[in-house]
Structure 1
């Protein structure tokens, strides 16, 4: 082909491309429901956008984490063991400049956390066990974030054990313990897609219960289960077991515990329960039928190498959780609810929740939701604000004097052409959560801004080592620990302020007493 003809051909092709760049809209030409044709505009060709993601290097440098939580905890422990009289109970030396993102309060009223701070500061003298519940979506699966918070609180304020454990782990992710089961166990969740065979709302503290026998065939399970004709499939006896072992990934404080409590109830027939602490048979009980929540408790002089529970009976109780803790200090529970938007408490039996919360002595609830609302793009999220507000007010009614912290959702990305950008509704959902929190007198921590704001998720994904997974939604273990460290520093900054304020008040009161005494 002659050079002139080649030139004409090239000009023809470029002319066609120029026409297409004007004809095809910027948002693309939708060919089918799943296919959209994109073509670069003239501006994009002449002035390409090199879309640089958010620079998070400063955030990373200010929030360095050690290779393992155990290393981090040991560093903290050694610092406070220098003076055994102040172990753990003194506030951490955290300065405002070290806090990437502070907690936010309704009307700047920090007193919403004072009930929890008072419990923390009095643990040394009270010698009791208090509880922190960390509810969240899949962002906290595998004990992410919770493990760091648990480790820090237990090393600073005392406490041990993994906390609440479900009978059946729904997914194969890492957890504070390794649990194994045998028998016909089935888990029934009270969120996302519920089993239509469940005719009641008694899901309990972990928003799910498990059974080793089928659900009883009752005309209405919400009525008294003992005053009805109950039909059990085949009327056979079921045998099942649970084994709870130490996780190789758990820190030392989690591997120590001195008590275990089983929360169960609503069995129509008696059942036999044996507990082995290692090889030793610790208890063998026939437990009677019940139409309310029951609690079975065991004490250990030394932490068993493992726990083995053996169940046998015609009808399984609904098993809500097993609490494995120390006798004093702080217990921190990871309650990951994959697919949930956090609208769970108003849809669960409030009388059952209140009974379990009271037994657990819950003092702080952390709620971390919003990610599952993001794929449903709307112009406003007033409905979510109202629904989430009802969850907060319900919790406050069920747990008198509880403190609540809402952690906003993280940045999430979708792909536009060759780049990843934030979902357009992330800040709308964040704002809905914040408004609900402030309206209900709860504290709020903005994870979205803490990690860098708009388009920060790709920066986390492409960091070395990666801080987020390639789904552009979830943090890696390292990333979640950095986020957890930022949150914990923000929490301890406020605790420091509380301790200092109480100390100043005490000094002023002592001065008044001395002045009054000298005057007389």
Structure 2
């Protein structure tokens, strides 16, 4: 090709592209799968669009987070200080006078269904007297992948345990969905498999007894009912000796957890659907602590071990012809606050109605659950719709279910965060986020529950890019999740809003 023809070819291509930039629709062409086919406009050639930036520094300046939370000496000194602040009533009893909690400025207040703002009062009454009653109360934090790795929960737990007492991370599964290192580190050996109520249901699971964490684990396959097996398979004359399955799991302290989270004096095992005897050996710091035999049962059962001092790691060795369903373990103290992190990647929070209500009620009662935090909505964003009445109705049904199972528990719904999609060269908020936020809020208010708007707390529309591009980064590069440090800022904002209402309760109820 001659230089002249090459030049003409280049010019014709440029002219075609320029013409397309002028005549192509500015909003693009929507394809059959909901995606858009877009082309740069002539105006964007002359003046390229710039990434929107939110001033989140002004928000963060009102919220301070502890930079060195894992300081054992500081934690012990704080506990001693709390004891000095108590009032000695007589030689046998120490009375703790409830005092307002010092907090930062409130970035975003809790929202209540009515102007009376009394929906959290039953829980605040328990919190006010928790040190005097020497009881243990539990908060269960359910959420989607936004709270994985103990994000948000860990800092809220740390602040409440530091203020009101309590140790341990609470409930942990036998087998984690992903190999995260918080709040504890898990290692397993054997043929462990995890089954969940959310996501795709495993075809071998024929019941709905998943426990309060919405999952259970087994170290042997689920066998079909006996009447479905052929006569050869169940002929005991041909197989006089049962073959045992062997498995183990280790739960160790995480260097990424706060100091109160690492400390515990009790370990509870939750199990059920146990057709055969199960031998369990427990090792604490590589020393054999106990050897027990779990008896067959169709119901939900617990087994508890106590410790004079917190082990660095616990190892459980299991031996049985068939595994029970293991719902998890709880690492906790003798009194104070327990907060469980129950992360369910991909869930929209519509699963409570799919689980066995009798079993849930029994477990919630035994665990003494007094508050639920429900943090969902993010997984509803990608499949964009014009109307989310279906989600409001479905989420409302789940709240009603919890209220029926635990009538004396309060519920706080935390809305979804800002999430970004890429339009050409810039990141913008999904347009349906406010609609999903409103659906969650309306479901909460319709059932006399409290709502906290995380979307507005972090800056509202188009705020996630500012969290992602912050130095240091506070948002992950998927423009959906927070980094651990970003999650602590969000947790502290929520804590400030929560304790503001607690302080207001104390002023009304001295």
TM-score when normalising by structure 1: 0.87
1:95-134 equivalent positions in 2, closer than 5 A? 98-134=105-141
- 272-281 or 361-370, which deviates more: 272-281
Structure 1 pair 179–10 and aligned structure 2 pair: CA distance change class (3 A): closer
Corresponding residue number in structure 2 for 1:148:
155
Provide Cα deviations, 1:357-378, integer angstroms capped at 9, x if missing partner.
Answer: 1111011111111111100100
Secondary structure of the residue aligned to 1:112 is coil
Alignment match, 1:28: 28
Q: Which residue number corresponds to residue 54 of structure 2? A: 54
SS of 2:509's partner is helix
Structure-to-structure mapping, 1:362-511, within 5 angstroms: 362-503=369-510
Using the TM superposition, give the Cα deviation of residue 37 of structure 1 relative to its aligned residue in structure 2, in angstroms: 5.1
The residue matched to 2:354 in structure 1 has which SS? coil
Q: How does 1:117-516 map to 2 (within 5 A)?
A: 117-218=124-225, 235-503=242-510
Q: 1 CA distance for matches of 2:54 and 2:79?
A: 35
Contact (CA 8 Å) 2:50, 2:426: kept in 1 or not?
no
- 1:92 — aligned with what? 101
Report the Cα offset of residue 274 of structure 1: 2.0
489-498 or 61-70, larger mean C-alpha shift:
61-70
Return the offset for 1:60.
Answer: 1.8
Count matched residues: 490
Query: How far is 1:130 from its partner?
Result: 0.7
SS at match of 1:148: helix
Q: Deviations over 1:252-290 (max 9, x none)?
A: 212211111111011111111222233443332222210
Deviates more, 1:491-500 or 1:51-60: 51-60
Contact 1:259 1:298 in 2 (8 A): yes
C-alpha deviation, 1:396, in angstroms:
1.0
CA apart distance, 1:315: 1.4
- Is the 8 Å Cα contact of residues 204 and 224 (structure 2) preserved in structure 1? no
For structure 2, which runs of at least 5 residues remain unmatched after alignment? 87-95
Deviations 1:146-175 (A, max 9, x none): 110110010000000111111011101121
1:40 shift after superposition: 3.1
Displacement of 1:61 in angstroms is 1.6
Question: Does the aligned pair in 2 maintain the 1:264–1:319 contact within 8 Å?
Answer: yes
Taking the aligned partners of 1:131 and 1:390, their CA distance within structure 2 comes to 23
- 2:248 and 2:79 map into 1 onto residues whose CA distance is 43
**CA drift at 1:450:** 0.2
CA distance in 2, matches of 1:484, 1:426: 20
Greater mean deviation of Cα atoms: 411-420 or 49-58: 49-58
Q: Distance in 2 between matches of 1:285 and 1:75?
A: 35
- 2:413 alignment partner, SS class: strand
Distance across 1 between alignment mates of 2:82 and 2:165 = 16
SS at match of 2:395: helix
What does the per-residue CA deviation read over 1:460-517, in whole Å, with 9 as the maximum and x for residues that have no partner?
Answer: 11111111011000000110000000000000000000111101xxxxxxxxxxxxxx
Which secondary structure state, in structure 2, belongs to the residue aligned with residue 210 of structure 1? strand
Equivalent residues of 2:72, 2:259 under 8 A apart: no
Unaligned runs of 5+ in 1: 222-228, 504-520
Counterpart Cα distance in 2 of 1:166 and 1:496 = 35
Is this contact kept in 2: 1:143–1:174, CA < 8 A? no
Using the alignment, how far apart are the partners of 1:432 and 1:73 within structure 2?
A: 45
Q: CA offsets per residue over residues 404-433 of structure 1, 9 Å max, x none?
A: 111000000000001000001111111000
Q: Distance in 2 between the 1:40 and 1:190 partners?
A: 45
Q: Separation in 1 of the partners of 2:180 and 2:203?
A: 27
Compared with structure 1, are the counterparts of its residues 291 and 452 closer, same or farther at alpha carbon in structure 2 (3 Å cutoff)? Answer: same
Q: 1:432/1:152 Cα in 2 relative to 1: closer, same or farther (>3 Å)?
A: same
Instruction: Report if aligned partners of 1:216, 1:231 keep a CA contact under 8 Å in 2.
Output: no
Classify 1:50/1:303 alpha carbon distance in 2 versus 1 (closer, same or farther; 3 Å).
Answer: closer
User: Alpha carbons of 1:139 and 1:493: their partners in 2 closer, same or farther (altered >3 Å)?
Assistant: same
Contact 1:88 1:157 in 2 (8 A): no
Q: Is the 8 A contact 2:282 2:289 kept in 1?
A: yes
Change in Cα spacing, 1:442 to 1:32, as seen in structure 2 (3 Å) is closer
- Asked if 2 retains the 8 angstrom alpha-carbon contact of 1:88 and 1:156, the reply is no
Task: Indicate conservation of the 8 Å contact 1:411/1:473, yes or no.
Answer: yes
Contact 1:66-1:72 at 8 Å conserved across structures: no
- Aligned to 1:168, the other structure's residue is in SS state coil
Q: Secondary structure at the match of 2:118?
A: helix
Rounded Cα–Cα distance in structure 2 between residues aligned with 1:445 and 1:220 = 51
TM-superposed CA distance for 1:77, in Å, is 6.5
SS of the counterpart of 1:111? coil
State the distance in 2 between where 1:76 and 1:283 align.
30
The verdict on how the C-alpha distance between 1:106 and 1:293 changes in structure 2, with shifts beyond 3 A counting, is same
Q: Is the 8 A contact 2:415 2:455 kept in 1?
A: yes
| Greater mean deviation of Cα atoms: 37-46 or 205-214 | 37-46
Could you say what secondary structure the match of 1:106 adopts? coil
In structure 1, distance between residues paired with 2:179 and 2:436: 30
